[in-house]
Structure 1
Amino acid sequence: MIGLDSSHAFAFTNLLNNSNEAYHVPGGKVVVAFPGGSPDFELSISRVEDYTRKLRNNYNVKIVDSIEQVAEESDAILLESADGAIHREQLRKIIAYKKPVFIDKPFCLSVKVAGEMIQLSKHYQTPIMSTSALRYAESLTTALQNTKKGKVIGADCFGPMDLQETQPGFFWYGIHTIEMLFTILGQGAKSVTTLSNDEHDVITAVWKDGRLGTIRGNRKGNTQFGAVIHFEQGSDYINIDADRKPYYASLLEQIVVFFRDGSSRVSVSETKEVIRFIEAANESSRDGKTINL
């Protein structure tokens, strides 16, 4: 299995080639990479050296001196820096090459920057895509394909809520459960209210059509990802940790299709709304007030 390190920009010739014990995503192969990393972010910079060595020695990936060289020598790019704060500047360096770019979560750390990145994509006519892999968890996808219980009327998502100082509030791990909620309810969030303490967070959101969605994040105890989806005629419990197929494998399949046709599987308008949602949830967590979107 090719590891998509959180401190590198990976490039692909033709398409991605990914495999593990049970799954294979057809395509080309990783051919060139640039080791990045943010010096002020320990979870980023501490892993660069080891991943660079493995890519070079185990996978014969060419390691180059600049992100621009990655863009020059590839057909599509994975921008995998763990630090959402540097994605805009990295994108600026490669956007003019007009190669499809997948940007790992978090897309960025403010709605203002999200708008600027989307404008860069439009100006250079370069397709971009960004999402958490949890969006494509097998059990979640299967449940949403079942129309026998009618329309979705609400959802309650939960997962670990680790915090990182350089990725404010819910931008680090909260984005996973927030992306799950948007996968279930779609765009159209109207307001957000957050209740937080040292160990847990509960985010309650109201959609413009009146539907309610909640997110529970845990820093103690349960670290499982899951959800309860409420339909018109019943509710389904989604235990993502019980899925046989890794959700990252499902994400890679979607990235491959994106690289082929240049059409993001998640609209950039929804990605921008997710970033605004996180901003509002962070703001609400400070005093518990409801924030309108």
Structure 2
Amino acid sequence: MPNIGIIGAENSHTVAIAKTINIDRLVSGFSVTHVWGETPDDAKDAQERGLIPNIVQDPEDLIGEVDAAIVDHRHPKYHLPAVRPLLEAKIPLFVDKPFCYRLDEGKEFLARARELDVPVCSFSVLPKQASFAQLQEDVRELGRIISVVSTGPCDIDSEYGGVFFYGIHQVDMVVRLLDQDITHVQLNRGRQNHTATLYSASGAISTMNLIGEGRVGFHVSVIGENGRTDRVIGYDENTYLTGVLDFCHMFSTGKTDETDSSMLTPVAVLEALEKSQESGEKCEV
């Protein structure tokens, strides 16, 4: 049975993944056996709630103990440094969203993964939901896309990377709908709620509503030359299951549907949005 180690325990994803595999037994043949936490309390909480047998004192302690690893920090700047020793040990990796904090770092990491022939994938679970898959089916009937409008929660001043922290969910969905075609962005600051304008080489102009107050879910509208479609992006019964199945399939086979573009374009967009937030200007992706 392949053993999985998880680096990071400060957020809900670690326990959710461990419960899906260890408690609900929804992924045959896998077990989450080790966890490293940002604090001893974080690690102990994840261990108890996810029935994870072992706590390690350092992420590198996973080497020789696990067959695959997940890194799951709130701030993306910690993701790739935490798993670089595991990459060099040729351990397959799922990097939770966002993949990284800087585009150049991500490019170098994926290039090294190719050199070592180590499978790596990263994604938000929002595009893995059945509601988003149905939206993608509906969009095929619209012809050329003129605009995408998304709405969701986002604190652009979050201590966990600002717009990166929750903006990744909308960005990952929008870039997939636009086939990775985003050339420039501009973040427009309000008081607690903000918008981001995204420009495409195709001529499409899209908007993300970054809502910082109230209880708001995710919603996407797509306008095409043949009409429009609108959908609330609801969660599956188990929000994480499809994503867990995807990365476990990669752990088993070495194959993933994710590409350098699908993992790095969201980072490039988020980094440009961060620059636009600082400058107040339109920025190139």
CA contact (8 A) 1:135 1:180 kept: yes
Identity %: 21
Contact 1:193 1:284 survives alignment (8 Å): yes
The 5-angstrom pairing of residues 60-209 of structure 1 reads 60-146=52-138, 149-151=141-143, 153=145, 154-163=147-156, 165-209=158-202
Alignment: residue pair count: 273
Query: 2: CA distance between counterparts of 1:58 and 1:263?
Result: 27
In structure 2, the residue matched to 1:41 is none
Equivalent position of 1:28 in the other structure: 30
Aligned CA distance change for structure 1 residues 224 and 57 (closer, same or farther; 3 Å) = closer
2:267 equivalent to 1:267: no
Partner of 1:17: 21
1:49-103 per-residue CA deviation (whole Å, 9 max, x = no partner) reads: 1442451586152122232231321111111122311222212211122121001
Deviation beyond 6 Å, 4+ runs, structure 1:
none
For residue 207 of structure 2, the aligned residue among 207, 210, 214 is: 214
With structure 2 as the length reference, what TM-score do the two structures score? 0.84
Say whether the 8 Å CA contact 1:5–1:51 is kept in structure 2.
no
Q: Judge conservation of contact 1:5–1:80 (CA < 8 Å) in 2.
A: yes
Summarize the Cα distance change of 1:152–1:106 in structure 2 as closer, same or farther, 3 Å threshold: same
Deviation of 1:19 (Å): 6.1
C-alpha distance in structure 1 between counterparts of 2:26 and 2:119, whole Å:
25
What whole-Å deviation, never above 9, does each CA across 1:121-162 have from its counterpart, x for those lacking one? 123221111111112121111121246624350311110012
Structure-2 separation of matches of 1:149 and 1:84: 36
> Which runs of no fewer than 5 residues in structure 1 stay unpaired?
11-15, 38-44
Structure-2 change in CA distance of 1:57 and 1:288 (3 Å)? closer
SS in 2 for 1:159: strand
In structure 2, C-alpha distance between the alignment counterparts of 1:50 and 1:89, rounded to whole Å: 20
For the 8 Å contact 2:142–2:223, the answer to whether it is kept is no
Deviation at 1:106, TM superposition (A): 2.0
Q: Partner residue of 2:3?
A: none
Q: Give, in whole Å, the separation in 1 of the partners of 2:7 and 2:156.
A: 20
Pairwise CA RMSD: 2.7
Matched-pair contact (CA < 8 Å) for 1:56–1:62 = no
Structure 2: give runs of 5+ residues left out of the alignment.
1-5, 15-19
More divergent stretch after superposition (211-220 vs 58-67): 58-67
CA 1:116–1:273 in structure 2 vs 1: closer, same or farther (change >3 Å)? same
Distance 2:58 2:240 in 1: 27
The answer for the alignment partner of 1:40 in structure 2 is none
Distance 2:7 2:81 in 1: 19
Residues 38-77 of structure 1 mapped to structure 2, 5 A cutoff: 45=39, 49-55=41-47, 59-77=51-69
Q: Is the 8 A contact 2:132 2:233 kept in 1?
A: yes
Secondary structure of 1:17's partner? helix
Equivalent-residue separation in structure 2 for 1:237 and 1:175 (angstroms): 20
CA contact (8 A) 2:7 2:71 kept: no
Distance apart, 1:228 and its partner CA: 0.9
SS, match of residue 72 in structure 1? coil
